[in-house]
Amino acid sequence: MSLSPEAIATLSGVSTATITTVLLKKGLRNVWMRGTKPLRPGQPRLVGPAFTLRFVPAREDLATPESWSSPISTRTAIEAMPKGCIAVVDAMGVADAGIFGDILCARMVKRGVAALITDGVVRDVEGVLGTNLPVWCDGFAAPPSVAGLTFVGWGEPIGCGGVAVFPNDIVVADQDGAVLIPQASLDHVLAEGPEQERMEAWIVNEVNNGAALPGLYPMNADTKARYAASKK
């Protein structure tokens, strides 16, 4: 799935906090990926289709340095990543084995990957930061992935930070972490997200002007009428 430039531009103006609110109203509560924190403060909001990768617990006969040369390896998976995708990696929340380091992240940059998101950690953190690949993760650790994980494949449904992620679902990441938009809900978020942002900006302005919260947030009928009038 490719996102149109218009869709990317729209979602780039909608915070992950707003997206969770819009999806909550639609009945989707579990869309924020736990443990996905920006590796570098101030990373810009990014939008892209998910390219999924999955690890399982380490097994001694499979999680070896030799596995890095296997046809089923993170190295091979990176070569399959399309430009503009966001790599979303199920690392099972393991925090003592870095799934990707500076060399792999550098190759992702060369392939035009938009970002890396994982509920695990990275290694070679200074080098990773030096690649300028935007990363959302749960920290960093020195040991390699095979110290605690076995890589098993890509392009299939995964769980990342407790959220079910299917290939080509839409991911938005900012300072609050990473949020998933199911493909079937994309049009809804594109329609409702900007309006939610406009409404909340208007409410913030009212608060800054001294308005009390009861009847303002959430809006009562009179406040809704004033807000509607402000848009004319």
DSSP 20-87: HHHHHHTT----EETT-EESSTTPPPEEEEEEEEEEEE--TTTSSGGGGGSSSSHHHHHHTPPTT-EE
Domains and CATH numbers, the chain: 5-183 (3.50.30.40), 188-230 (no CATH)
62/150 Cα distance (integer angstroms): 7
Please check if 103 is assigned to a binding site: yes
What percentage of the chain carries pLDDT values higher than 90?
92
Q: Which residues pair with 181 in a beta bridge?
A: 170
User: What dihedral do alpha carbons 55, 95, 160, 14 form, nearest 10°?
Assistant: -140
pLDDT bucket at 217, cuts 50 / 70 / 90 = very high
Please check if 104 is assigned to a binding site: yes
What average pLDDT does range 40-66 have in this prediction? 93
Which residues does 64 contact at the CB level (< 8 Å), separation at least 6?
Answer: 146
Q: Is 123 helix (H, G, I), strand (E, B) or coil?
A: coil
What average pLDDT does range 1-25 have in this prediction? 94
Q: Is 90 helix (H, G, I), strand (E, B) or coil?
A: strand
Q: Say how many C-beta atoms besides its own lie within 10 A of residue 154's C-beta.
A: 21
What average pLDDT does range 25-44 have in this prediction? 97
Give the rounded distance of the alpha carbon of 162 from its chain centre: 13
133/43 Cα distance (integer angstroms): 10
pLDDT confidence of residue 153: 97
Please check if 102 is assigned to a binding site: yes
Please check if 222 is assigned to a binding site: no
Q: Has this prediction a pTM greater than 0.85?
A: yes
Mean pLDDT, the chain, rounded, equals 96
Taking CA atoms, 144 is separated from 84, 95, 106, 150, in Å, by 26, 11, 16, 11
Please check if 90 is assigned to a binding site: no
- Neighbour-count burial of 214, counting CB atoms closer than 10 A to its CB (0-12 exposed, 13-18 middle, 19+ buried): exposed
pLDDT confidence of residue 39: 98
What average pLDDT does range 16-31 have in this prediction? 97
What average pLDDT does range 47-65 have in this prediction? 92
pLDDT confidence of residue 163: 98
pLDDT confidence of residue 66: 84
Residue 132 has pLDDT above 80, yes or no: yes
pLDDT confidence of residue 208: 98
Amino acid letter for position 99 = I
Q: Could you report the per-residue pLDDT of 60-84, keeping only the tens digit for each?
A: 888 788 887 888 899 999 999 999 9
Q: Tokens 């406009």 — which residue?
A: 198
Q: Tokens 């792999």 — which residue?
A: 104
Higher pLDDT: 142 or 62? It is 142
Please check if 78 is assigned to a binding site: no
pLDDT confidence of residue 219: 96
Residue 156: DSSP 8-state: S
